[in-house]
Structure 1
Amino acid sequence: MKRKSLLLSALLLLSPSAMAADLGWNGGDSGSIYSPVPASGWSGFYAGISAGYGWGNVLRKPTAGGAETSNGTSGFVLGGQLGYNLDLGGMVISTEADLQGSNLGYEEAIPGIGTFKTGMDYFGTLRGRAGMSFGQVMPYLTAGFAAGRGTASVTSPANVVTSQSANHLGWTVGLGMEAMATQNITFKAEYLYVDLGTQSYAGLPVGNSDITQRFSVIRGGVNYKF
């Protein structure tokens, strides 16, 4: 009876250790069934939301010729993104599209005319991403096309508003880092430089103007991977 009791005690002591070894929790080899991030952990479609802050400058030049002026712009951005990741086992390549609402702009008082204001109402990008996965963290570089809708307006001393809008096309480049919170949820921080080129705005009390929009954006976001 005493021998059976000793044998049962030994089995009970060994069982948890054997189970842990089988699951790779005791520093098992690379063939264990447990892995915090599988090789294909980043692959799949995803969608999410993001928000941040932008700053830059706007160049304004009379269309008929004359001196060019430069003014600083700033404002907040809020929007969403969707994309697809392909995990190649260490390297991750992606395609991502995003659309951001914005109050990025500036205004100035022009004597005898009123208050001139210009900025971006919204902008979006279509970019490629290339990153390296280090477990649950992926730093990446990104670049692609950018487009946006800008508005320029003049508010007269009598509070009469004259405004014109135009579509801008350009490019963007940046970098970021994304981290897995779970297999489906990731968080990201990103910097983008956006050059939306020059467009003409006609019919304003300040005269027809060629306006160039360039700015930087820092934003954070959360994605859900399907």
Structure 2
Amino acid sequence: MRMKIYSMKLFVFCAMSTAALTAPAAAQETTIFDGPFVGVQLGWQQDRRSATTSLVPPTTTRVTGDGLVYGGQLGYDANIGGAVLGVEGSIIGRTGSNGPAALDYETGRTINVTARAGLLVSPESLLYARGGYSNARFSLANPAGNSESRDGYTLGAGYERSLTDTMSARIEYAYSNHGSYSLPGMGGPVVINYRRHGVTAGFNLRF
């Protein structure tokens, strides 16, 4: 009888010890990059525009414009163990313009809808790549003209780290291509091409 009581006490003690030891491990396994999030971003952006004439031989003029980029994003991540898959929508604005005084383009808002995939290099750190649809608005400021929206694509890569259970910070590089179109010009049409590079830092609040 005493042996049975002793065995039961030993079993209860071992069970409680095992639970105490595994509880911290279970807490560490709590997924961080998982669920919906909303955030803000701020950084630098450079628009590159080229104009190629149809003359023989053709000539190409390239101009660049730097500016401050700012905006917000919302999305959803799914943590599937060692990897994270997600979707994100963002809207950003930019200061400055792009072009010489004779043909000055101002950059308006940009809307991006992208998917991203990343690998957890630690429980708190994520390396990722993203890609998807981008729509940018441009306004011809000099000479005065209408605004137009250009469809294109964006590709990027970044690093995100968890600060707390509900907040994370990231830094990201992105390249965007908004296609080309023709403008009438002396001697034939002029083909305008749009490219963009940007580096942003962001903070996300996670739910």
- Is structure 2 residue 170 aligned with structure 1 residue 188? yes
Deviation readout 1:30-69 (Å, 9 max, x if unpaired): x33355643432110000000110124101246xx44432
- Is structure 2 residue 38 aligned with structure 1 residue 47? yes
Q: Which residue of 2 aligns with 1:118?
A: 105
Q: Which residue of 2 aligns with 1:144?
A: 132
Alpha-carbon distance in 1 for matches of 2:27, 2:82: 14
In the superposition, the TM-score normalised over structure 2's length comes to: 0.79
121-130 vs 99-108, which moves further:
99-108
- Is structure 2 residue 64 aligned with structure 1 residue 72? yes
Identity of aligned residues (%): 23
- Is structure 2 residue 90 aligned with structure 1 residue 98? yes
1:108/1:165 CA distance change after superposition, 3 Å? same
Deviation at 1:21, TM superposition (A): 9.4
Deviating runs (4+, > 4 A) in structure 1?
19-24, 34-37, 207-210
Alpha-carbon distance in 2 for matches of 1:175, 1:139: 8
Q: Which residue of 2 aligns with 1:168?
A: 150
Q: Is the 8 A contact 2:84 2:119 kept in 1?
A: yes
Larger radius of gyration: 1
Deviation readout 1:4-53 (Å, 9 max, x if unpaired): xxxxxxxxxxxxxxx999755xxxxxx33355643432110000000110
Alpha-carbon distance in 1 for matches of 2:43, 2:190: 29
In the superposition, the TM-score normalised over structure 1's length comes to: 0.73
Deviation at 1:140, TM superposition (A): 0.5
1:108/1:83 CA distance change after superposition, 3 Å? same
Alpha-carbon distance in 2 for matches of 1:166, 1:37: 50
Q: Is the 8 A contact 2:98 2:107 kept in 1?
A: no
Q: How does 1:192-207 map to 2 (within 5 A)?
A: 192-200=174-182
Q: Is the 8 A contact 1:39 1:90 kept in 2?
A: no
Alpha-carbon distance in 1 for matches of 2:27, 2:33: 12
Deviation at 1:210, TM superposition (A): 4.2
Local SS of the residue matching 2:76: strand
RMSD: 2.6
1:49/1:141 CA distance change after superposition, 3 Å? same
